[in-house]
A and B are shown apart, each in its own frame.
Chain A
Amino acid sequence: MATTTDTANTEVVAEDGVRRRDFIEIAAVSAAGVGGIFTLIPLVSQMAPSKDVLAESTTELDISTLEPGQSIKAVFRKQPVFVRNLTQAEIEAANAVDVGDLRDAQTLAERTQEGHENILVVMGVCTHLGCVPLGAAEGENKGEYGGYFCPCHGSHYDTAARIRKGPAPTNLEVPEYTFTSDTTIVIG
């Protein structure tokens, strides 16, 4: 091994360009860097939902006993879901609204499924900051529009669970769901 300093090295070879050692150094450090970046994949993705959490992502509900005017609270992905069997009066109240005046313009028909216009399925998660709105259980404050009312910051939702007043930006979210029979729905 010759005694050298890196500055001396650079001076000597500057004339004929790249040294073999430069190539080896760049190749080795690059390979180590790429390898290091790949080890980040497990470290980052381990924080994403695990397989058992993903396996909880469907909820089956029997709504055969749900009478008009009644609601049930279910759990979907550890969050509440409200299923309400709307009365004729509630449906008419929802359809009477001029959609153009709404903050998040949607008709009741767009928020329910064909043939089941009386069954309204929404996430019980206020679109403002995530509190659970009141109105699904008997005796709870349904807000000024007869739907749901979020007590945290005063968002009022109508009978189609559309935002009408208060800070929430959008209507209560309608999750993906299907009717597997006339009285059974599967959410997710």
Chain B
Amino acid sequence: MSFPWAKQYEPKTGFTKWMDEKLPLPRFVYNAVGAGYPVPRNLSYMWNFGVLAGFCLVLQIVTGVVLAMHYAANAGVAFDSVEHIMRDVNWGWAIRYAHANGASAFFVVLYLHIFRGFFYSSYKAPREMIWLIGVVIFLLTMATAFMGYVLPWGQMSFWGAKVITGLFGAIPLVGEPLQVWLLGGYAPDNAALNRFFSLHFLLPFVIAGVVILHIWALHIPGSSNPTGVEVKSESDTVPFHPYYTAKDGFGLGVFLLVYCAFVFFMPNALGHPDNYIPANPLSTPAHIVPEWYFYPFYAILRAFTFDFILPAKLWGVLAMFAAILVWFFLPWLDKSPVRSGHYRPLFRKFFWFGLVPCMAVLFYCGGAPAEEPYVMISQIATAYYFLHFLVFLPIISSIEKPEPLPFSITEAVLGSDDKAVLGKDAETAA
């Protein structure tokens, strides 16, 4: 779908005309990320992160396929094969650091993409399906990242695998048999390592498929925008190419500067030194934490220290999964007809002074040792986290008096729809 004023693809050469009849791939690209996709003219840099997430996925697949050419998924040699990549394989160190830091970069981008969605209520109708698919992508990415972290078969890999599969052991009745089934044994060993490698290779391609659904769903209503006002006329939009290819290209350049700073100057800053110790099933590292991008959910897991009807262990697991599953219900929890946080004074306060600091605290506590005061702080933050989504958000959306919305995107940008100049009458921009 597209707006009626979207530019039409017109093949010019003989070859492109021939292609357009047989396999209209150029037309598809033109309508997806070319001049045939009209996009709101007022998108800010917060709208860069979708393209950046797509870039990260490609980056991880390319570097990952290369690493898989040299890695051996066998508990006896896995650790050594990673060192072989670091020392012997041509450019192996660069490719492995690019992959490890690529995972972190992917999550930075995903978190910013998701919080953009929170602030601008991108999940609201008519974009619920885009949001739901997005949450699925996040869950798949978390699973992929977890299994990837197990592959180097260091101490953190091993104990991460043990702890995370232990979560399933908390499920009543079927928990323990389920955990043994997942691992193919009583503790992580060769069987677990092999299946994690197989799935770690498979899932990124599943994610790529779901990403296509995500973009497909996006192209039906078109992109949202910082005002939250829907597109009304041609002057509200500009063609994706060249306007947003250029803007996304600039964002990609900035992203790559930061990413390369990590890859080349502090490649281990986000990792754990203990993972350079080979896996030892008889000794747990003193301070066991997941990768940084799981910290908030790890803090929620550890916040439950008391039995209340159900055992504490089960509460922690349920809460951790619920912390993400609650996102699925956002389109119906937030009933306000206004989307953008810019026009929602009360919602805005709860976003900047409630949800964001709460998430920051959970991030901090997830990486801190499991002792006071961090446990209590995690408990308070966890309570706020769920209250925010399940209680505050529905109440805010029913009592809040939104600020006046602009009539249109054009009015928000130019002050009035009359100032819009289209087509031939347009002045040159530079």
Contacting residues of chain A (33-84) with chain B, CB-CB under 8 angstroms: 41-43, 45-48, 50-53
Residues of B within 8 A of A89 (CB): none
User: Considering only CB atoms and an 8 Å cut-off, how many residues of chain A contact the other chain?
Assistant: 28
Instruction: For the complex, give the distance between the alpha carbons of A47 and B238 in Å.
Output: 44
- Chain A nearest CB from B129 CB (Å) reads 31
Residues of B within 8 A of A42 (CB): 90-91, 94-95
- Chain A nearest CB from B323 CB (Å) reads 37
Given known A-B contacts A2-B421, A47-B69, A51-B87, A8 and B92 have beta carbons under 8 A apart? no
Q: In the complex the two chains form, is A8's CB within 8 Å of B424's CB?
A: yes
Which of B62, B90, B235, B239 has a CB less than 8 Å from the CB of A50? B90
A114 at the interface (CB under 8 A from B): no
A1 at the interface (CB under 8 A from B): yes
Produce 1/0 per residue, A9-33, CB < 8 A to B. 1011100000111000100100010
Which of A25, A28, A46, A52 has a CB less than 8 Å from the CB of B69? A46
Chief secondary structure at chain A's binding surface: helix
Q: In the complex the two chains form, is B249's CB within 8 Å of A46's CB?
A: no
Q: In the complex the two chains form, is B428's CB within 8 Å of A2's CB?
A: yes
- Chain B nearest CB from A26 CB (Å) reads 13
Residues of B within 8 A of A50 (CB): 70, 84, 88-90, 92
B420 at the interface (CB under 8 A from A): yes
Instruction: For the complex, give the distance between the alpha carbons of A43 and B95 in Å.
Output: 8
Q: In the complex the two chains form, is A46's CB within 8 Å of B427's CB?
A: no
Given known A-B contacts A2-B427, A3-B421, A19-B430, A46 and B413 have beta carbons under 8 A apart? no
- Chain B nearest CB from A116 CB (Å) reads 35
Residues of B within 8 A of A3 (CB): 41, 235, 238, 420-422, 426
Contacting residues of chain B (410-425) with chain A, CB-CB under 8 angstroms: 413, 420-425
Contacting residues of chain B (86-114) with chain A, CB-CB under 8 angstroms: 87-92, 94-95
State the B residues within 8 Å of A (CB).
41, 62, 66, 69-70, 84, 87-92, 94-95, 235, 238-239, 242, 246, 249, 253, 413, 420-430
Known: A3-B235, A11-B424; 7 extra A-B contacts, CB below 8 A, are A1-B429, A2-B429, A8-B423, A20-B430, A42-B95, A43-B62, A53-B88
